Amino acid sequence: MSTTTDTTEHNPLPEGAPDIARAIEEVDIEVADAAGAIREHPVVETLGTVSEMADQPPLIIGSTLVLAVGLLARNPRLARAGGRMLASHLLATFIKGQVKQRVDRTRPFVIHEEGRYEVGTQAPRDEGKYNSFPSGHTAGAVAVAEALIREYPDTASPARLWAGAIALIQVPRCSHYPSDIAAGALVGLAAERAVNFAFDQADQRSRRSTR
């Protein structure tokens, strides 16, 4: 099931789609239309480039470095933070990858460059411009930020501000729709919560074994 529209159409979902889904999609497309006017602004382009720090390789490298420094410095708390960050990011990346493989959604820049919008779940294409949903940058940033906060609660404000900035800049740069951002944030939160549960279970087993 796939539908196509140009930027003047705001009802791309097929008949039978829930009203709430139609409303969300309409807002997404309206926001994407507006973002087209500023996507090439130097500030947006610069912030977009900076936001690539939340791409997969940088987050993996950064999390691994935190883990390594913690181990070398014999700092268990820092090492745990690095381990949580790495595990949460990898799980978030896996989850968002599974969703992207099952959903085709053209990125906002396709509306402006090609005058079309597509969304569907039949025969999804593994191409960047069809992989808008969900936002991987958001998922990774949220997962890593929440994992750091788990060990260092005092970092909550700056860590969440950083993750939020990474997420929000994806809209004006026309990489993602608002609902992509929301879905990515949920993926990141879910991944970190799952990793935290695993860490808690491991801690409990460790305490029981030392009694």
pLDDT tens for 170-211 read 999 999 999 999 999 999 999 999 999 999 998 888 777 766
The CATH number of the domain holding residue 9 is: 1.20.144
Kindly tell me if the per-residue pLDDT of 128 is higher than 90. Answer: no
Kindly tell me if the per-residue pLDDT of 17 is higher than 80. Answer: no
pTM over 0.85: yes
Question: Where does residue 169 fall: left (phi above 0), alpha (psi -120 to 50 degrees), or beta otherwise?
Answer: alpha
CA distance 119 to 108: 12
pLDDT tens for 56-85 read 999 999 999 999 999 999 999 999 999 999
Query: Residue 38 corresponds to which tokens in the numbers above?
Result: 């500023």
Q: Treating both helix axes as pointing N-terminal to C-terminal, what angle do 136-151 and 156-169 enclose, rounded to 10 degrees?
A: 180
pLDDT tens for 98-122 read 999 999 899 999 999 988 898 887 7
126: amino acid identity, one letter: D
Say how many domains are in the chain.
1
Can you give the residue range of the structural domain that contains 122?
Answer: 2-209
The position carrying tokens 């929301």 is: 182
Kindly tell me if the per-residue pLDDT of 168 is higher than 60. Answer: yes
